[in-house]
Amino acid sequence: MKRRVVVTGMGVLSPLGHSTGETWNALVEGRSGIGPITHFDPEAYPTRIAGEVKDFDVSKFLDKKAARKMDRFSHFAIAATKEALEDASLTIDESNAERIGVYLGSGIGGLPLLEEQHKVLMARGPRRMSPFFIPGMIVNLAAGQVSIFFGAKGPNLAVATACATGSHAIGESFRLIREGYADGMICGGTEAVITEMSVGGFCAMKAMSTRNDEPERASRPFDSERDGFVMGEGAGVLILEEREYAISRGARILAEVLGYGMSGDAYHISAPSADGDGPIRAMRIALNDANLSPDSIDYINAHGTSTPAGDKAETLAVKKVFGDHAQKLAFASTKSMTGHLLGAAGGLETAVSVLAVHHDVIPPTINYENPDPECDLDCVPNEARRTEVNVALNNSFGFGGTNATLILGKHR
C-alpha cells in the first residue's frame, strides 16, 4: 500500500491579493490583476503591462536586516509559507522538524538582485558589491531561507523547470512523502522577475501581449485574438502531509493528491510540439499514477498562457487524452486573471485546483469573446461555475519542453 498524501494548508501571494482567500475571491468574481508596469519605467518596451503584486510590505514578515539578505522571490516564499503553515495549523518543532521538508522552486530566481549588483559592479567596482549577492540570487535560496526561517530539517530541495517549476516541486514532494522520506512538505513555486532585463528578453522573443491600452483584457486564453502571455509575479505554497500523520494531529484536509506525471517534448527550446505529444504523455502518466480513467476528471486548470501556439497545442492534447469526455469537462485558465507567474504558476494553479475541489466552484476564463475553432473546449467563459468537482487536473508546461501534470481529488 502506498502512503496517501493530502493537502492541509496553502499560502498564495498574487496579482489579485496577499492571501489565498483574497486571490480565490477575486478569481471567482472574474477580476483581473493585470495593469501597467510600475516596477520600472516601461515606456521604451513593446509590452508595458504585467500582473504585479501590489503594495507588498516585506516588513510584515522580516526585519530590515534579514530582508536585505534576500531577493524579492525569497520574500514572497517566506510570506506564502507563513500563511500556508498557519492555514494547516502546523507547528514545526523538535518533535517533527526532521520529517518536514521544503521543496520550493523558481524559474529564474533572483534576477532583480542580479541587475542591481551588476549596476554596482559597473559604476563602483567589485569591492562595493554585496556579500549577499550570490546567496540572495541563486534559485535554491527560497527553499533554503524557508527551511532556516521555519526550522524544517527534512529534505531541502529546489527545482528550476521554467513554467513547470511549481508543479514539479509539488509532484516531487508528493513522491517524497508517498515513498516515506518525509511526513510533510512545504512545496510550490515563487517568482519575482518583472524587471528591465526579463521584460526586455521576453519582448525580444515576441512572446508577450502588447495590448497595452487594455491591460485587464490582455490575457485571453483560447480567444482567437490572443496575442501572447502577460507576465505575473507571486508565490503559491502548499503543505502536503502523509494522510495518517495529518489525521493524527487533527488537521483539516482540503484535498488529496492522487497522481503526478511528467514528460519531455524533446522538440524545441520554447515552442510546444504542435501534436501535443509531451503534454499527452504527462497527462496519461498522471492518470495511470492515480489509477483513474479519463472520464473521472471534472475540471482541468489549463496551462492556458494566451499564446497562439500554446493554447492550440494544449487543446489538441486534451482531446487526444480524453476523447469524447473532453467535451464534457471544464477546461479553464486562471492566467486570464493572474497573468503567467512563470516558476510560481504551478504553485498558484495547484492551489486553485485544490480550492475548486474543496468548494465545488470552477473559476472562469475571462476575456473570452471571440471563439477559436481550434480551441473549442468548454473554457468556462467569463463567469465562475458552481458544480461538483470531485477530481481536478492541473497542467504546467515549460521552456525546454518540460511538462508536469497533477491530479487532485476530494478526500474520501
Residues with a catalytic annotation lie at: 163, 303, 340
CA 394 to chain centre: 10
Contact in structure between 220 and 306 (CB atoms under 8 Å): yes
**Joined grid coordinates for residue 307:** 499564446
b/e per residue 225-248 (b: at least 16 CB within 10 A) = ebebbbbbbbbbbbbbbbbebbee
404: phi then psi, degrees, rounded to nearest 5? -140, 140
Give SS3 for 385.
Answer: strand
Question: In whole angstroms, what is the distance from residue 117 CA to residue 137 CA?
Answer: 10
CA-to-CA separations, 222 to 56, 314, 331, 404, in angstroms, rounded: 31, 10, 10, 20
Alpha carbon separation from 154 to 94, 158, 177, 240 (Å, rounded)? 12, 13, 11, 13
Q: With beta carbons less than 8 A apart as the criterion, state whether 104 and 212 touch.
A: no
Q: What is the 3-state secondary structure (H, E, C) of 39-96?
A: CCCCCCCCCCEEECCCCCCHHHCCCHHHHHCCCHHHHHHHHHHHHHHHHHCCCCCCCC
**Residue type at position 29:** E
Residue 154 CA to residue 157 CA, distance in Å, equals 10
**If you search the block for the grid coordinates 526586455, which residue do you land on?**
200
